[in-house]
Structure 1
């Protein structure tokens, strides 16, 4: 199913300037397009549109040990609450933790990489409010965390 994710501001990468009125078209687990909301809704009539407050951008890469929590699942959820969609393999030595990461569909990277929203890329997105709190985390095209 095609879904447009949009917010008042969109960043293609974490260092780029945010632009207003843009959206990300998600097709399954991939980014189908990134561009002006009006163009994308015109090109895809009837598409489901999810409007989020804040700034939409690529999911974050966590480059340290996973947060402490009683269970591996809770450690992974701690990342999702922050907008993380990728972790480094070097921090996943515990098999139970690695299994929890795999079940969550977090991307496991051999080395840190700069996440970018681009057509054909994996649909890993996050929306943060003005204070930096994560409102929504989308992992491989599905909502994995949504703040109430």
Structure 2
């Protein structure tokens, strides 16, 4: 199902100097189908489900440090998702159980850091942050995997 993730501010990169306002990202399956003003995307995709988020929507983050401590590998990976990260450096996934949990969670494992970016036809890894920088929602390959209540 096609989903429009809408927010007052949409950034192509975390430090985008010219963000879009009252915009959305159209997600079809695990890919980004379109990025643009919300009303234009509503007209282009009239049957799409619309998720409206407060705050700023942009690409999910790349976690470059050690994976947070938690009681289980699954909870350690979920801690990344709660921070808005959907990618982690391979060097920080030291054991097989943690690598398996990352794989099951859809986390991208990178050999080296790369800048996060929203791109047409790119994997739909999105995050929404409030004014204080707290993650409100994380989308991994088009699936909503974290939402702060």
Task: Indicate the TM-score class for this superposition, using the shorter chain for normalisation.
Answer: over 0.9
What is the alpha-carbon distance in structure 1 between the residues aligned to residue 46 and residue 27 of structure 2?
A: 14
1:57-90 deviation per Cα after TM superposition (whole angstroms, max 9, x unaligned): 0000001110111111111111111000101111
Output the aligned Cα RMSD: 0.8
Q: 5+ residue gaps in structure 2? A: none
- Residue 148 of structure 2 corresponds to residue 147 of structure 1: yes
Quote the residue 1:46 is aligned against.
Answer: 47
The answer for the alignment partner of 2:5 in structure 1 is 5
Counterparts of 1:78 and 1:92 in 2: how far apart (Å)? Answer: 14
Q: What does residue 19 of structure 1 align with?
A: 20
CA distance in structure 2 between the partners assigned to 1:81 and 1:43 by the alignment: 31
State the alpha-carbon separation in 2 of the partners of residues 128 and 138 from structure 1: 12
Q: Is the 8 A contact 2:4 2:26 kept in 1?
A: yes
Measure the CA separation in 2 of the matches of 1:131 and 1:115. Answer: 20
Shift of 1:19: 2.3
Does the residue aligned with 1:75 lie in a helix, a strand or coil? helix
TM-score scaled to structure 2, two decimals? 0.97
2:88 maps to what in 1?
Answer: 87
Secondary structure in structure 2 of the residue aligned to 1:22: strand
The SS at the match of 2:99 is helix
TM superposition outliers: structure 1 runs of 4+ over 2 Å: none
Structure 1, gaps ≥5 residues long: none
Distance 1:41 1:75 in 2: 37
Structure 1 SS opposite 2:76? helix
Taking structure 1 as the reference length, what is the TM-score of the superposition?
0.97
Structure 1 segment 109-124 matched on structure 2, within 5 A: 109-124=110-125
